[in-house]
Amino acid sequence: MTIREKTEAAAPAEKQNRYPLAIDVYARVMAAILMLLGLRHWAIIIGVMPGETGSFEEMTLTWQLATVHLAVIDLVAAVGLWMRVAWGNVVWVWAAVTAVAMHTVFAETFGFDYGIIALHVFGLLGMGILLFLARRAAHS
């Protein structure tokens, strides 16, 4: 055994950064959740299930606009997150901010929905933590 072989064998292996894989898995789980949310909104639009204020035709104009907006934006965000493209993260943030604003800032119109608020806040928070840890591991 040569000195070079001994040195290579004795050198500790670099730690593998597993955060990119965790981010990909997390994004795909969030994509599946957003897909279900978007399909739920489409089910309300086509009349398969009632919305928060009844059928789509009986909703106020603001509820109709919000339902159509979320039906489209949730599915677009889901596709972008699943494909792991940069615009998917941007659309996801937009969808989350819209939904959270609806149920907090405009709660008089849309009501409080703590489940949706928690889903989006903790979803974005989780992704932020994973991105922070991935960058920290890459620089150390």
Handedness of CA 46, 56, 79, 28 (dihedral sign): negative
Structurally, the chain folds into a number of domains equal to 1
Residue 140, CB half-sphere, CA atoms under 13 Å: how many?
Answer: 9
Residue type, 105: V
Is residue 4 situated within a structural domain?
A: no
pTM of the prediction? 0.84
- What pLDDT, in 10s, does the model give residues 83-133? 999 999 999 999 999 999 999 999 999 989 999 999 999 999 999 999 999
- Which of 33, 95, 35 has its CA nearest to residue 66? 95
> Which of the four pLDDT bands, split at 50, 70 and 90, describes residue 14?
low
Q: Residue 72 sits in which domain range?
A: 19-139
Closest CA to 131 of 75, 86, 91, 73: 86
Tell me, what's the pLDDT at 139?
Answer: 84
- 126, part of any domain: yes
